[in-house]
Structure 1
Amino acid sequence: MEAADTGGIIALPGVQDLLLSMDGLAWAIVTSMDRGQFQARTAAAGIPLPEVVVTAEDVTEGKPDPSGYLLAASRLGVDPAACVVVEDAPAGIAAGHAAGATVLAVATSHAASALTAADLVVPDLTAVRAERGALRVRSST
């Protein structure tokens, strides 16, 4: 039923621009959603999809367990320590750190005060771009 309910589903601020700026950077999506719900919601939001997607069906333990991020890094052929995890929840932040990645939190579903375990917290992805093989975060100051 959740997969069929796509009313009001939109891409959050900055997501489209960031994903369109990836230009050759390896990236993946790791989600706690099942594949059907994921496909319906990303289609409704117009989100471009990477080659590597890890859903709830691909792992035995959900976040904060790091297995989703470790699987994504393995499928991408990259060291998790070279990855940046973009997360919006404390369990995902814990999973990203447990995988050995740098974690960028977006305060879109939780208050910034609940995301302080991340390496950096931003209000949304409007200040984040992929440039010359790296993610760049524009300072708000």
Structure 2
Amino acid sequence: MKKKIIIILGDPNSISSEIFLKSLNYINNTNLNFIIIGNYYLLKKQADNLNLKINLKFNFCEIDNLKNVKFNFINLNYKQKKTFDLKSKKSDEFIENCFKCAFYILKKKIAAGLINLPINKSKFTKNKYNGITEYIADKTNNKNK
């Protein structure tokens, strides 16, 4: 099975969905396969709000059922009434679940790397870490923190 790159869609109430949607054509033309972790229904809602289209086919799958296709999408549970809800307190828990899923995949050596889209680091890490890199290093027990 070809190694994959994980893309965590980032904070569901940030510019991350727009960045991802605008880069789809570019990443579709690479020789890489991707595992996207996020919530598809919110992404679709945000795409409609931004007048952008999702013109790719995703293989929706569970964490232990990844296929050797261009785009696997692990659709994690996240419900939000507004398309963008800057006051949502649930987003930090959702981001944490996205990272847990990514770390599990990395530990199984299914993916070769991880890209996370924008996250409000001070809100998400509650200022415990200088940034997301330090958070990832701590959560993966990386000795080079």
TM norm structure 1: 0.40
TM norm structure 2: 0.40
Higher relative contact order (CA 8 A, sep 6+): 2
